[in-house]
Amino acid sequence: MREGLGETFIPFPGSPEGESPEEGIALLDDAGTILAANEVLGEMFRYDPGELVGLALCRLIAGGAPCRFEHLLHPPDTCAARSSALGRWLRVAGVRRDGSGVPFDMTAVSVPEGKGVAYVVVIRDCGSREGTEALLRLQSTALEAAANAIVITDPGGTILWVNPAFTRLTGYSPEEVLGKNPRILKSGAHPDSFFAGLWKTVTSGTVWKGQTVNRKKDGSLYVEEQTITPVRDRHGINTHFIAIKSDITARKNAEESLREKSAKLEERVKELRCLYEVSELLRRNDITQETLLAQAAELLPAAWLFPERTCARLVWEGREYRTENYRESGWKLSEEILVHGIRVGSVEVGYLGEEPAGGMEPFLPEERALIEAVAHLLGNSIERRWTEVALRASERQYRLVVENVREVIFQCDTEGRWSFLNPAWENLLGYPVEESLGKSFLQYVCPEDHEKGTEMFRRLRSGEADTVRDELRGVTRFRETRWYEVVAVRLADASGEFTGTLGTFVDITRRKEVERLKSDFVATVSHELRTPITSIKGALGLLAGGVGGVLPPQAQDLLDIARRNCERLGLLIDDLLDMEKIESGKMVFSLRALDLLPLVEQVVDGTSAYAGQFGVTFRIAGMIPGARVKADPDRLAQVLTNLLSNAAKFSPRDTTVEVSLERREGKIRVAVRDQGPGVPVDFRPRIFERFAQADGSEARRKGGTGLGLSISRAIVERLGGLLDFESREGEGTTFYFELPELEADHGTEAP
Amino acid sequence: MEPRPLRRILLAEDEPDIQAIVGLALRSVGGFEVEICGDGPEVLDRFLSGSPDLVVLDVMMPGMTGPEALKELRRLPGGAGIPVIFMTAKVQPGEVEQLKALGAAGVIPKPFDPMTLASQIRALWEAAQIPETPKRS
């Protein structure tokens, strides 16, 4: 803009005539105030040209003061003549409107103006030029060094310049591509419309960013991400295109791989979720088995690749549980559900799409694995449920028994403290179970039976006994003493160590009372029975003795009959009472060390008269003096008497019954041998039975109650021995009993 | 020294029939004087008023039993040393010992032979007169 200067054309030193768009021109008055300026100057200093008018030039100079201008033109120092701007270019530090520094070169020419002088100043922005130059140099270096490929083309797209990274990327050297179009990299992967769109974008001045699949020199494909920036000059005209490319092939591959993996992972997650949900479902015990199976079927399709086209069905013991969309299809997976190894149902998953071409396997291995897993889960869970139900039933049953029986069921620990008591405890003893647990069992045992109880426990603890059974008295909460029959077993761990006891006890007080009553009864009855017999026997005896007067012979006979039977009655009562005592275990034995020989002699003596009635004599043979046993003398005598009288009864007249003593393997045998008819074979099994007599009439004639042998045997057995017989029909019988021999160092008492 | 002869016997027995039989057996067969009582208290009473040589006590009597009567008898004047014989239907070995331990001179079981009762009693009486002789039943 040179209006302000009119038409005057002033040639500047060193500058070409004509246009120089980079030069700012100002007209100054002699004070240095700008009278006129061109656009460029304004641009340089960031002022509107209008603002510059009237502005002191010094304002454009860093640290500028009015005098500074003078110095510019007329430096005071003549030595510094070279620092004048007149006629030469002077480097000045300028300052823009915004205070930023801009070095410039200045030259001035004086122009006569009327009477005075005006100056024309030309200013060249060397700072920006310098900056631009530096920047360019920087950029150039950067471009060279950039890792990304950079292509600079002209507005037509012809390649003007490429950086080394381009060569690395594409394989083409700069010489090979200069002057060519980037379309040499085309791979054919993109349709023409793609490039049309690209060209349209960049030619309209917009940056284009995108991904392209290109071909390298060696023919291989790669993926690049490109940014194409149009470069425009100040007038908005496109001067170049700069394309920055980066090879994202690897990234793309990684992305693809990730996408694949991600998809796979999602699938896995779906499967796992399916399994998890099914297993959560199975863990619930608040739903019925039917609900469980129906819901499980619903959970399945979601885990398959195309849930909306997948249907499922569970078959269980004949019943079906289907998803709504279920229909038969040839494209399905199924797996058996096994419970305890038995097939009870199946899981099916079907695909509702088109049937695959023959032979193609429609389902992925993962899907097979999934259905197997589901079937397995279901099988296991149902199995567990059944087991639980069975267990609960068994527990219920156990509980029913333990809680409802009348017997107390208990467990003791190694110290004899209660560790378990069933409810019957409270019924029997009156104490609540909770109160009694942990307490020693002895606390509840009657003091008199403490010793017995302690001994029972000790025997179990030491292992001497595996089971103990006895009767103990206990004291209830209400201070009642009651009898209990206790059975306890020893509990031990795998190594045999005592771990406690387990047992039951039951209240037998009533039974004990009954026994006592019976005992009393027996005693009473015996007394009651004996009393009239005493009277009868006494009266008959007196009569027979003549106390009532002389009796006629026939009366005498009748009297004998009466007396005989009275005798028999008495014996029968004795035997019956003995029998009762033995059977109820009430027979009392006073055991002592006994010399057998004297006892045998005494009994033989005592029975001789009786035997005499039958014409039978006794003979003692095989005596062992000093043979001793531990026995009750009266009872043993009773046994021997029984054997001797039997022998006498069944011996023919004028025969001998032999009584012998024998030592046999630590035992003493006392045998009674007769020469009678022997025991009939068919009677032998019954011989020791109560009231058993060989031949009704014969035996009754011989008398006896039929209880003798059973009582005798019971007595001998109670004394720790045995009683038996040997017999041959027609040859006689030997009855014998054996008792363990007693060692010599025991003291003896005469029988 | 000759043992003093047995002459008077005091009997306690609640059963009338047995009273009769024992009475007969001892009087007719044994020739003793026999005073018969029906229960324990009566025998204690008669003991003081009579002066028997020997007392025979039935064991099972209603009210005061034989053993109880014996105990009371011993406390009476003259009762400490008098021979006492029990008669009982209960003849378990242990019971006999128990009765003898109470201080009886002997135990006669029921039923008994009335013809030998008198001699049995005389034998027990004579044994009781000799201090050193161990008592046997």
Q: Residues of B with CB below 8 A from A541's CB?
A: 25, 113-115
> Cβ contact (<8 Å) for B17 and A544?
no
Per-residue pLDDT, averaged over A509-535, amounts to 80
CB of A744 within 8 Å of any CB in chain B? no
Per-residue pLDDT, averaged over A596-624, amounts to 88
User: Could you identify the residue written with the tokens 């019976």?
Assistant: A518
Q: Residues of B with CB below 8 A from A519's CB?
A: none
45-104 of A, contacting B, C-beta below 8 A: none
> What's the pLDDT score for residue A8?
43
Q: Residues of A with CB below 8 A from B17's CB?
A: 532, 535, 538-539
- Which residues, other chains included, contact A472 with Cβ-Cβ below 8 Å and sequence gap of 6+? A445, A446, A449, A452, A453, A456, A483, A484, A486, A505
Q: Using alpha carbons, select from B3, B112, B94, B95 the residue that is nearest to residue B56.
A: B112
What are the strands, taking DSSP E only, across A15-148?
Answer: 23-28, 34-37, 90-95, 101-113, 116-124
Q: Judge whether A468 and A487 are in contact, CB under 8 Å.
A: yes
Nearest CA in chain A to B90: A527
> What's the pLDDT score for residue A694?
62
> What's the pLDDT score for residue A415?
93
In what helix (H) or strand (E) does residue A542 lie, and over which residues does it extend?
A: helix A509-544
Q: Using alpha carbons, select from A610, A729, A621, A619 the residue that is nearest to residue A669.
A: A621
Q: Is the dihedral of CA B52, B58, B64, B65 positive or negative?
A: positive
Higher pLDDT, B5 or A75: B5
Q: Cis bond leading into A155, ω under 30°?
A: no
Q: Going by DSSP bridges, is the β-strand pair A23-28/A116-124 parallel, antiparallel, or unpaired?
A: antiparallel
> Cβ contact (<8 Å) for B89 and A532?
no
Query: Which DSSP string do the residues of A702-749 spell out, in sequence order?
Result: H---S-HHHHHHHHHHHTT-EEEEEEETTTEEEEEEEEEBPPTTS--B
- Which residues, other chains included, contact A296 with Cβ-Cβ below 8 Å and sequence gap of 6+? A278, A281, A282, A314, A321, A374, A378
Per-residue pLDDT, averaged over A120-148, amounts to 71
Nearest CA in chain B to A563: B113
Q: Using alpha carbons, select from A411, A461, A414 the residue that is nearest to residue A425.
A: A411
Tens digit of each residue's pLDDT (9 = 90 or more) over A322-340: 888 888 877 788 888 888 8
Q: Judge whether A349 and A332 are in contact, CB under 8 Å.
A: yes
> Cβ contact (<8 Å) for B29 and A533?
no
How many other CB atoms sit within 10 Å of the CB of residue B72? 16
Q: Residues of B with CB below 8 A from A533's CB?
A: 110-111
- Dist CA A123 CA A247 (whole Å): 47
Higher pLDDT, B5 or A485: A485
Tens digit of each residue's pLDDT (9 = 90 or more) over A206-248: 889 999 999 999 989 999 889 998 888 777 788 888 888 888 8
Q: Residues of A with CB below 8 A from B18's CB?
A: 531, 534-535, 538
> What's the pLDDT score for residue A420?
94
Percent of chain A scoring above 70 in pLDDT: 88
CB of A544 within 8 Å of any CB in chain B? yes
Per-residue pLDDT, averaged over A121-131, amounts to 70
> What's the pLDDT score for residue B55?
94
User: Does A71 score more than 70 pLDDT?
Assistant: no
Distance from CA of B52 to the nearest CA of A (A): 24
User: Does A603 score more than 60 pLDDT?
Assistant: yes
Q: Radius of gyration (Cα) for chain A, nearest Å?
A: 68
Amino acid identity of residue A92, one-letter, is: V
Q: Using alpha carbons, select from A669, A607, A675, A668 the residue that is nearest to residue A641.
A: A607
Average pLDDT, chain B: 87
User: Does A166 score more than 60 pLDDT?
Assistant: yes
How many other CB atoms sit within 10 Å of the CB of residue B130? 11
- Dist CA A708 CA A559 (whole Å): 26
Three-state secondary structure along A283-335? HCCCCCHHHHHHHHHHHCHHHCCCHHHEEEEEEECCEEEECCCCCCCCCEEEE
User: Does A152 score more than 80 pLDDT?
Assistant: yes
Distance from CA of A602 to the nearest CA of B (A): 16
How many other CB atoms sit within 10 Å of the CB of residue A48? 12
Beta bridge partners of A178: none
Nearest CA in chain B to A586: B92
Q: Judge whether B115 and A538 are in contact, CB under 8 Å.
A: no
- Dist CA A277 CA A280 (whole Å): 5
> Helices (DSSP H) in A146-225: which residue ranges?
164-170, 174-177, 192-203
User: Could you identify the residue written with the tokens 């823009």?
Assistant: A96
Of A129-133, A500-504, A610-614, A677-681, least confident by mean pLDDT is: A129-133
Classify B48 as helix, strand or coil. Answer: helix
404-463 of A, contacting B, C-beta below 8 A: none
> What's the pLDDT score for residue A4?
43
User: Could you identify the residue written with the tokens 């500074």?
Assistant: A68
> What's the pLDDT score for residue A495?
92
Residue A569 phi, psi (nearest 5):
-60, -45
CB of A535 within 8 Å of any CB in chain B? yes
> Cβ contact (<8 Å) for A532 and B17?
yes
> What's the pLDDT score for residue A449?
93
Give the closest of A538, A544, A590 to B21, CB-based: A538
Q: Residues of A with CB below 8 A from B15's CB?
A: 531, 534-535
Q: Residues of B with CB below 8 A from A526's CB?
A: 89-90
Tens digit of each residue's pLDDT (9 = 90 or more) over A19-41: 455 778 888 888 888 888 888 88
625-664 of A, contacting B, C-beta below 8 A: 632, 634
- Which residues, other chains included, contact A335 with Cβ-Cβ below 8 Å and sequence gap of 6+? A346, A347, A371, A372, A374, A375
Give the closest of A541, A588, A634 to B115, CB-based: A541
As to burial, measured by CB atoms within 10 angstroms (0-12 exposed, 13-18 middle, 19+ buried), residue A67 is: exposed
Find how far residue A580's CA is from the centre of its chain: 63
> Cβ contact (<8 Å) for A530 and B110?
yes
Q: Residues of B with CB below 8 A from A544's CB?
A: 115
Amino acid identity of residue A414, one-letter, is: T
- Dist CA A77 CA A198 (whole Å): 65
User: Does B113 score more than 50 pLDDT?
Assistant: yes
pTM, full prediction: 0.44
Find how far residue A249's CA is from the centre of its chain: 50
- Which residues, other chains included, contact A605 with Cβ-Cβ below 8 Å and sequence gap of 6+? none
Across A621-635, b (16+ Cβ under 10 Å) vs e yields eeeeeebbbbbbbeb
How many CB contacts within 8 angstroms connect chain A with chain B? 73
User: Does A88 score more than 90 pLDDT?
Assistant: no
Amino acid identity of residue A590, one-letter, is: S
How many other CB atoms sit within 10 Å of the CB of residue A204? 10
Of A507-516, A639-648, B64-73, least confident by mean pLDDT is: A507-516
- Dist CA A507 CA A406 (whole Å): 9
How many other CB atoms sit within 10 Å of the CB of residue A541? 24
Tokens of B13: 């027995």
> What's the pLDDT score for residue A19?
44
> Cβ contact (<8 Å) for A534 and B111?
yes
Residue A270 phi, psi (nearest 5):
-60, -40
What are the strands, taking DSSP E only, across A169-268?
Answer: 208-215, 221-232, 238-247
- Dist CA A114 CA A552 (whole Å): 216
CB of A609 within 8 Å of any CB in chain B? no
- Enumerate long-range contacts of A1-6, CB under 8 Å, 24 or more apart: A1/A38, A1/A39, A1/A49, A2/A38, A3/A36, A4/A35, A4/A36, A4/A37, A5/A36, A5/A120
Q: Judge whether A737 and A603 are in contact, CB under 8 Å.
A: no
Q: Residues of A with CB below 8 A from B22's CB?
A: 538
Q: Residues of A with CB below 8 A from B115's CB?
A: 541-542, 544-545
Per-residue pLDDT, averaged over B60-82, amounts to 90
Q: Going by DSSP bridges, is the β-strand pair B8-12/B33-37 parallel, antiparallel, or unpaired?
A: parallel
User: Does A135 score more than 70 pLDDT?
Assistant: no
Tokens of A9: 């054309």
Tens digit of each residue's pLDDT (9 = 90 or more) over A265-313: 888 888 888 888 888 888 887 888 888 888 888 888 888 877 888 888 8
Classify A153 as helix, strand or coil. Answer: strand
Distance from CA of B7 to the nearest CA of A (A): 19
Higher pLDDT, A602 or A78: A602
- Dist CA B115 CA A373 (whole Å): 106
Amino acid identity of residue A60, one-letter, is: L
Conformational region of residue A170, where left means phi above 0, alpha means psi within -120 to 50, and beta covers everything else: alpha
User: Does A399 score more than 70 pLDDT?
Assistant: yes
- Dist CA A426 CA A409 (whole Å): 11
Confidence of residue A485 (pLDDT cuts 50, 70, 90): very high
> Cβ contact (<8 Å) for B15 and A535?
yes
User: Does A12 score more than 50 pLDDT?
Assistant: no
> What's the pLDDT score for residue B131?
65
> Cβ contact (<8 Å) for B112 and A537?
yes
Query: Mutating which of B14, B17, B22, B96 best tests the A interface, going by the most A Cβ atoms within 10 A?
Result: B17
